């Protein structure tokens, strides 16, 4: 999957075919074909970002669970506001799901 993501990042409008993470056909003569090294480097970059993606996904799920607190006919408590802000700030201190300290839900 990261090969496809890498290709879309490096050549978003290109038309190509690949097998086993190797380009087998390049159909976009107006777009430069990325080198194998450029693809490998982008794949490594994408893989390195994965822990933060997982962290943001888990954080977003927790935020979504409390979205109803912000309905116009409700008033959030200070504890609820702080909890939601702490969730939004979680990526400032944690770098993966392994080292996250989740705030306690009020």
> Could you report the per-residue pLDDT of 73-89, keeping only the tens digit for each?
999 999 999 999 999 99
CB 65 within 8 A of CB 103: no
Beta strands per DSSP E along the chain: 16-19, 22-26
The 10s digit of each residue's pLDDT in 49-60 is 999 999 999 999
Is the pLDDT assigned to residue 95 strictly greater than 80?
A: yes
Q: How far is CA 22 from CA 5, 17, 46, 65, 104, in A?
A: 14, 9, 17, 42, 47
Running DSSP on this structure, what letter comes out for residue 32? Answer: P
User: How much is the average pLDDT of 12-30?
Assistant: 95
Supply the mean pLDDT for the chain: 94
Q: Is the pLDDT of residue 1 over 90?
A: no
Reported pTM: 0.72
């Amino acid at each position: 999957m990261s090969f496809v993501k890498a290709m879309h990042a490096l050549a978003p409008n290109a038309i190509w075919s690949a097998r086993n993470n190797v380009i087998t056909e390049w159909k976009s003569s107006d777009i430069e074909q990325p080198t194998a090294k450029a693809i490998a480097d982008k794949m490594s970059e994408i893989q390195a970002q994965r822990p933060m993606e997982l962290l943001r996904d888990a954080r977003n799920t927790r935020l979504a669970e409390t979205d109803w607190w912000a309905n116009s006919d409700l008033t959030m408590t200070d504890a609820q506001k702080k909890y939601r802000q702490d969730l939004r700030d979680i990526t400032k201190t944690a770098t993966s799901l392994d080292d996250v300290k989740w705030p306690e839900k009020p």
